Chains A and B, each alone.
Chain A
Amino acid sequence: MTPRFAPGVRLQEDRARNRWMVMAPERMFLPDETALAVLRLVDGARDEAAIVAALAEQYAAPAEVIAADVRALLEDLRARGAVTW
């Protein structure tokens, strides 16, 4: 499974407030730190396993622990209309 941003959705830096926002048609939301870490890796090319591997390396954590978090996060982001696959 290879997640990508839903049409019209993208990450945008909010420089005035020193944070990143998920921008979508007629709405926006503030991703928490973990969601942001996953969303930064969503590029339509990396599949779920590649995202898990990148995060496992970044956080020096076991891939199987990361994998469960990533799946839950992606499902949540899909339910919110931010990503699709």
Chain B
Amino acid sequence: MVDAPLALLAELTHRCPLRCPYCSNPMELARAAAELTTAEWARVVEEAAALGCLQVHLSGGEPTARRDIVEITAAARAAGLYTNLITAGVLLDAGLMERLVAAGLDHVQLSVQDADEAGAERIGGLKGAHAAKARAAALVRAAGLPLTLNAVVHRQNLHNLPALVERALEWGAARLEVAHVQYYGWALANRDALLPTRAQLDEATRVVDAARVAHKGRLVIDYVVPDYHATRPKACMGGWGRRFLGVSPAGNILPCHAAESLTGLTFPNARETSLAAAWADSPAFNAFRGTAWMPEPCQSCDRREVDWGGCRCQAFALTGDAAATDPACALSPHHGLLQAAVTHAEGEAFRYRQYGRAR
């Protein structure tokens, strides 16, 4: 008997007004016509709740680009899920905010690309985005909802980390996630322009430590050392097929939002397969579940049930083998790839996210 999942990531659409060069969506973006309908999403959230999920992250792309975002939020809340909207905020207005609150929205996570307008608009690739985000933050707070600011950080904005902390306080966020870019998909294509230096990382850790002390009781800061400067991998998704499932805009049921980057796996689709059947029985979910699939050095490692072998997508992206030990681990024979990438990273030009294959 497989333990039930705790959370659903509902990627409602790949459409988004921003063009961030580290977007976590796949390189091949789903077209609007391929997206699940309102009724299909309502069924997905009900199935997720029945299966054991306690919360849903309504994400994308930009989830508010869907005209039925309010209906989907209401369906999720009616199913008994804690509802978290992960948004860029640029499409949010007072009317939509009010309807989302009435639908039972519990929490908003707002992304921010940089602390200042020029940087934020260059990185996100959208003019006017920064001011729109400030307005969105104010709307969330005026509605009485808790706000988390999600700052994706990399070489070109880490110098602004103290200002990002100030922005979180100024915009009324109770939580700040300082999220280092994860390098697969679009971000891997932009790795040379994004990888932070070791000196930047050490300074960022110092800034976070100081801010946690200075703003204790007012601002919680989540921060994790990025893989390229780590010696042990993260328990990606808390382990493959352990606590988490995602559904893509077109309905593919995924163990991780980046899982479609792995070739050789076929993912069940919510139009044909129930979430329960996908979770328990599909070859894709069982491929890297538990520890039996692990190669050495993971197989005999005493941390195998701590980090679950790290990230499958990163292992595949860097070694071509999805079952390899995550190169973030210093025990991986491929660990040197990460230091080499850090050493060679230079240049500032981005390849922005766009529809159609960018390869």
Contacts and interface: CB of A to CB of B under 8 A. Distances in A.
Interface of A: 6-8, 10, 12-17, 21, 23, 25-26, 28, 81
B54 A12 contact: yes
A7 B80 contact: no
Contacts of B335: none
A26 B175 contact: yes
Contact of B55 (A7, A28, A81): A28
Contact of B80 (A15, A17, A28): A15
Contacts of B55: 23, 28
B106 interface: yes
Interface of B: 4, 6, 49-52, 54-55, 80, 82, 84, 106-107, 109, 144-146, 148, 174-175, 177, 220, 222
A37 B87 CA distance: 35
B146 A25 contact: yes
Contacts, number: 51
A5 B328 CA distance: 40
Given A8-B145, A23-B54, A28-B54, 17 more contacts: A6-B146, A7-B174, A8-B107, A10-B82, A12-B82, A13-B80, A16-B50, A16-B52, A21-B54, A23-B55, A23-B106, A25-B107, A25-B109, A26-B84, A26-B107, A26-B222, A28-B6
Contact of A16 (B51, B84, B144, B220): B51
A14 B144 CA distance: 25
17 contacts: A7-B144, A7-B146, A7-B174, A8-B145, A12-B54, A14-B54, A15-B50, A15-B80, A16-B51, A23-B55, A25-B146, A25-B148, A26-B107, A26-B109, A26-B177, A28-B55, A28-B82
- Decide if the interface of chain A is mainly helix, strand, loop or mixed: mixed
Contacts of A26: 84, 107, 109, 148, 175, 177, 222
A24 B145 CA distance: 11
Given A7-B144, A7-B145, A16-B52, A25 B4 contact: no
B145 A12 contact: no
Contacts of A10: 82, 106
A23 B82 contact: yes
A81 B82 CA distance: 17
A21 B54 CA distance: 9
Nearest to B3: A17
B274 to A, nearest CB: 14
Q: Would you list the 4 A-B pairs with minimal beta carbon distance, nearest first?
A: A8-B146, A16-B52, A23-B82, A25-B107
Contacts of A25: 84, 106-107, 109, 146, 148, 174-175
Contacts of A21: 54
A25 B148 CA distance: 8
A13 B4 CA distance: 15
Contacts of B54: 12, 14, 21, 23, 28
Contacts of A23: 54-55, 82, 106
Contacts of B146: 6-8, 25
B215 to A, nearest CB: 14
A25 to B, nearest CB: 4
B103 to A, nearest CB: 15
A17 B175 CA distance: 29
